[in-house]
Amino acid sequence: GNCLSCHAQAAPKWDMICEDGHGCMPIPITEDMQIALQKTDPRCPSVPLTDEDKIALKKVVEIAKAAAAAAAAAGQPQP
């Protein structure tokens, strides 16, 4: 339901690193989407978004909406 619940599954040396194959459950976002998300992290310096970043972020929003709808239909709490 949230980022930490998945990151907690990673081995301590990999915790909070966005990579594949470190023990976290797979998520349906591409590397391009991860990069775009990292660029919007308020804890990081501001970075201009490219047109490709904006497209990737729109796809992330679509995935999040679909996941929320599926959770609601299954009667699960929404993140």
Judged by DSSP in three states, 30 sits in coil
In this structure, the number of other CB atoms found within 10 A of the CB of residue 56 comes to: 21
Stated pTM of the model: 0.66
Please report, in tens digits, the pLDDT of each residue of the chain (79 residues total): 566 676 677 777 765 555 666 666 677 888 899 889 889 988 888 899 999 999 999 999 999 899 889 888 988 665 5
**Helix (H) and strand (E) counts in the chain:** 3, 0
